[in-house]
C-alpha cells in the first residue's frame, strides 16, 4: 500500500536489524538539535501520529520519524514487544543516521519508549517530550478491568490475527475515540489509520507490546519508581480528557522528576499532537531552544 506522507516530509528506508526501517524526514533540515519522533500503538505509524507536527517542526531541526517494527512500512524486522528493546533499537537507528543526540518525542506507547531511551541511553537524549505516555501506571484501571486486559493479552497470535482483521474494519470509527473533538482529525489520518487496520498482521505488534507490558496483577515494567533517574530535561504533555491513558500517571511522574515539566491541555483527548498540535508545538519549542543552547 502507498502510505501517508505528512506535508513537507520525505521517505527513506534504513537497513537495520536485518530489515528495512521506513523513516520519514523533514524535506529541509536546519542546524538545530535533531528530533526523533516515536509513534504510538494500535494501527499507528509515523505518518499518522506526526502528520501535523513533522512539518511544523522542520526546517529548524533535522526531524526523523521511524515506523517501528510491525508498524507501517517497516519490513523484515520481527515485532518487538519490549519497550526497552524498542528503545535500544532506536538508539541503533540514531547511530545509523549519524545522530549523536536528539530531542526524543513520543506519544502513548512511543512515550513509554522515549522515557526508556532516556533511561537506557542518556548520552543519546538531549531532552524528552512524552505525550500521553504509557508505562506510568501500575495497572489498567480497576482490578477487574486489569484482569480482563491481561486475559486479552494471553490470546495466541493464531487466534488474535483473525480477530484483529475483524477489528481493523472498524479502525476508522475507533480512531475518532482518541480525541475529544473528532472533527479535529485530518481526514487523511482517519483514512490511513483505517487502511493500516486492514493491512495483513495489523495489531499484532501492539499486541506484543501489551503482552509484555500487562501482567496478571499489574504492570511489571512500569516506570513510576524509575522516572526519577531520568537526567534529561523532560516535558510531559497530557490531555485532561484522555480516555485511554490516565493523566494521573503523568502527574505522578512529573512530581518525582527533578527536571520535568507537565503541561495539561483542557478539552483534549489522547492524541494531543493531532487534536491540539498548535498548543503542543508551543510547548515543545522552548524544549528545542534549550537543547540548542546546551549544545
Q: Which pLDDT band, with edges at 50, 70 and 90, does 60 fall under?
A: confident
Q: What is the mean pLDDT of the segment spanning 231-241? A: 97
Q: Assess whether pLDDT exceeds 80 at residue 245.
A: yes
Percent of the chain with pLDDT over 70: 94
Predicted pLDDT at 41: 95
Please say whether the beta carbons of 22 and 13 come within 8 A. yes
271-288 tens-digit pLDDT: 999 999 999 999 999 999
152 vs 278, higher pLDDT: 278
The CA-atom distances, in angstroms, between 79 and each of 71, 85, 198, 284 are: 8, 11, 18, 30
How many CA atoms are closer than 13 Å to the CA of 110, on its beta-carbon side?
A: 32
Q: Assess whether pLDDT exceeds 80 at residue 156.
A: no
Q: What is the mean pLDDT of the segment spanning 135-157? A: 86
5-51 tens-digit pLDDT: 999 899 999 999 999 999 999 877 778 899 999 999 999 999 999 99
Task: Please tell me the distance from the alpha carbon of residue 200 to that of residue 107, in angstroms, as a whole number.
Answer: 24
Q: Which pLDDT band, with edges at 50, 70 and 90, does 294 fall under?
A: confident
Task: Please tell me the distance from the alpha carbon of residue 262 to that of residue 60, in angstroms, as a whole number.
Answer: 24
Q: Which residues of 137-151 are buried (b: 16+ CB within 10 A; e: fewer)?
A: bebbeeeeebeebbe
46 vs 149, higher pLDDT: 46
Predicted pLDDT at 157: 72
Percent of the chain with pLDDT over 90: 74
Give the predicted TM-score (pTM) of the model: 0.95
- Phi/psi of residue 211, nearest 5 degrees: -65, -35
Domains of the chain, start order: 9-294 (3.40.50.1820)
- Compute the residue count for the chain: 295
Predicted pLDDT at 161: 67
Chain mean pLDDT for the chain: 92
Please say whether the beta carbons of 203 and 155 come within 8 A. no
Pick from 281, 245, 266: nearest CA to 115: 245
Q: Assess whether pLDDT exceeds 80 at residue 240.
A: yes
Q: Which pLDDT band, with edges at 50, 70 and 90, does 200 fall under?
A: confident
Q: Assess whether pLDDT exceeds 80 at residue 163.
A: no
Amino acid at each position: 500500500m502507498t502510505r501517508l506522507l505528512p506535508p513537507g516530509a520525505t521517505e527513506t528506508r534504513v537497513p537495520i536489524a536485518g530489515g528495512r526501517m521506513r523513516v520519514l524526514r523533514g524535506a529541509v533540515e536546519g542546524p538545530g538539535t535533531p528530533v526523533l519522533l516515536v509513534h504510538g500503538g494500535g494501527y499507528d505509524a509515523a505518518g499518522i501520529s506526526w502528520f501535523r507536527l513533522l512539518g511544523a517542526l522542520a526546517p529548524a531541526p533535522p526531524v526523523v520519524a521511524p515506523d517501528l517494527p510491525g508498524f507501517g512500512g517497516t519490513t523484515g524486522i520481527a515485532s518487538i514487544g519490549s519497550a526497552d528493546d524498542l528503545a535500544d533499537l532506536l538508539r541503533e537507528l540514531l547511530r545509523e543516521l549519524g545522530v549523536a543526540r536528539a530531542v526524543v518525542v513520543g506519544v502513548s506507547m512511543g512515550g513509554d519508549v522515549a522515557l526508556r531511551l532516556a533511561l537506557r541511553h542518556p548520552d543519546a537524549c538531549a531532552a524528552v517530550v512524552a505525550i500521553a505516555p504509557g508505562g506510568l501506571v501500575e495497572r489498567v484501571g480497576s482490578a477487574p478491568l486489569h484482569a480482563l486486559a491481561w486475559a486479552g493479552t494471553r490470546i495466541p497470535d493464531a487466534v488474535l490475527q483473525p480477530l484483529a482483521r475483524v477489528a481493523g474494519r472498524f479502525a476508522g470509527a475507533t480512531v475518532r475515540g482518541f480525541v475529544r473533538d473528532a472533527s479535529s482529525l485530518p481526514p487523511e489520518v482517519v483514512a490511513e489509520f483505517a487502511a493500516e487496520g486492514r493491512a495483513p498482521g495489523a495489531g499484532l505488534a501492539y499486541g506484543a507490546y501489551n503482552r509484555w507490558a500487562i501482567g496478571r496483577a499489574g504492570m511489571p515494567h512500569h516506570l513510576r519508581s524509575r522516572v526519577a533517574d531520568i537526567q534529561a530535561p523532560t516535558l510531559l504533555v497530557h490531555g485532561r480528557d484522555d480516555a485511554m491513558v490516565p493523566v494521573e500517571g503523568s502527574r505522578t511522574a512529573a512530581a518525582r522528576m527533578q527536571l520535568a515539566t507537565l503541561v495539561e491541555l483542557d478539552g483534549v483527548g489522547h492524541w494531543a499532537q493531532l487534536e491540539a498540535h498548535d498548543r503542543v508545538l508551543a510547548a515543545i519549542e522552548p524544549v528545542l531552544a534549550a537543547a540548542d543552547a546546551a549544545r
